Amino acid sequence: MEHIAFLGLGHMGAPMARRLLATGHPLTVWNRTAEKAGPLVAAGAGLAASPADAVRDADVVITMLAGPDALEGVAGAAAAALRPGVHWIEMSTVGPDAVHRLAARLSEGVTLVDAPVIGSTDKAASGALGILAGGDTAGVEHVLAHLGNVTRTGPLGSGAALKLVLNSAVISGIAVVAEALRLADALGLDGGTARTALASGPLAGVVARAHAEGVHFDATLALKDLDLATKTARLPVIEAASEHYRRVAEPGEDISRAAARIRTA
């Protein structure tokens, strides 16, 4: 089986790496904070001291990082250590520009796929993520299948682009639901009744995510996604949602907690 290097062991990366390790793939992991790799190392993964060390013997490289700056740093450290024939699967939410900058760094013979994911930590742990894959996926679909269901989106960068579209809609939608419930409070409506009514309509999925428990999407990363979107096009509604989150969100908390503050702010 292919030797996989997995770089980035945050809330999403760690359960994804664990899924791959459970399939029997030889796995080397790297994380900026090495202590986070402890449970995976205890389960049989190798721990690399640097991104270059992680990818040196890999057949497949997977990155699941916080954003474009983190990807740039890892790419700068790792690109020269890659062997010809390696497949690099970029699964972070970084936008298409960062994907194309990564592609420009890679030598001939290295295949890049952008494959960001839809779903939170629960889906990552169960292997039920939605995977939006741009580029030539032929050599890695069997690897991605361990993590979720693959939707091929088109050429390189298209997966990253579609992920921005979807995240912008959902994150902004959660802020809209919070404001709608704030309006219900101001009108003297029972909060449970208003929430049930919203959940019975076209916003059902957003209502569910606004009140989800046992999952995690860091509000700081949500803000990063909205910033990437609003730097790409003029998006007044999404800009307003971004300002809401910027005002009330606390780093490290799930966006549902930020939504609760929007409702009461």
The yes-or-no answer on residue 224 being catalytic is no
Distance between CA atoms of 122 and 212, rounded to whole angstroms? 11
Distance between CA atoms of 139 and 7, rounded to whole angstroms? 19
Do 71 and 65 meet the contact criterion of CB atoms below 8 Å apart?
yes
Residue identified by tokens 């800009």 is: 239
Distance between CA atoms of 133 and 142, rounded to whole angstroms? 13
Largest CA distance in the chain: 65
Check 36, 123, 163, 224 and give the catalytic one.
163
Element (H, E) at 82: none
Do 216 and 121 meet the contact criterion of CB atoms below 8 Å apart?
yes
Distance between CA atoms of 253 and 261, rounded to whole angstroms? 12
Contacts of 209 (CB under 8 A, 6+ apart): 170, 174, 255, 256
Catalytic positions are: 163
